[in-house]
Chain A
């Protein structure tokens, strides 16, 4: 079943690659925060996949903590962007 493992990890890795490209070249700060949010959700899936691959349920606890921290991170960046009135 190593073939299916390679397929799943390559699909999620391509998703991470696209999100990181948008994070690097985003024209506005809001685009970068959206790309960071997408990146965090995909990384949560990758950590859960590592729990499946190494047969160790400790990685699922890491996934829960990462989910809470990424949610707080998104909220804090969004509040920071709201106070930042541009020139429109």
Chain B
């Protein structure tokens, strides 16, 4: 049982490492949001499940933490994406911008 919990924790740590590497290496802001939020959410789930397997008395608190991360992390990433769009952190090689007629009504005179 110890070995299984350590395997889960190592997989979670690997996803944490991949999330940090994606935040460092991705070319523009929206790719960084993708890498930094999804990979670390999966890493947090796996690592907390590994800790819960090692200590079954803590499963209620760990379940609370997992539910809170599953609720709050996608909300945070979508709010961050909207804020990054509105604060003009767009990539240079942007092909199509469907939000332009929705958000950019007052910015048409400045372009």
- Seen from chain A, the residues whose Cβ lies within 8 Å of a Cβ on chain B are 1, 4, 7-12, 14-19, 21-22, 28-31, 33-35, 37-38, 41-42, 44-45, 48-49, 51-52, 55, 57, 60-61, 63-64, 67-68, 71, 74-75, 77-79, 81-82, 84-88
Contact = CB atoms under 8 A, between A and B. Distances in A.
Contacts, number: 184
A41 B61 contact: no
Chain B interface size, under 10 / 10 to 19 / 20 to 34 / 35 or more: 35 or more
Given A28-B29, A34-B33, A61-B61, A15 B20 contact: yes
- Of A42, A49, A68, A79, the most chain B CB neighbours within 10 A belong to A42
A84 B87 contact: yes
Nearest to A60: B61
Given A34-B80, A42-B20, A82 B86 contact: yes
Contact of B41 (A1, A41, A52, A57): A41
Given A35-B23, A60-B61, A81-B84, 18 more contacts: A1-B2, A4-B9, A11-B10, A11-B13, A12-B16, A21-B24, A31-B29, A31-B89, A34-B33, A42-B43, A52-B51, A60-B62, A74-B76, A75-B79, A81-B83, A81-B87, A85-B86, A86-B87
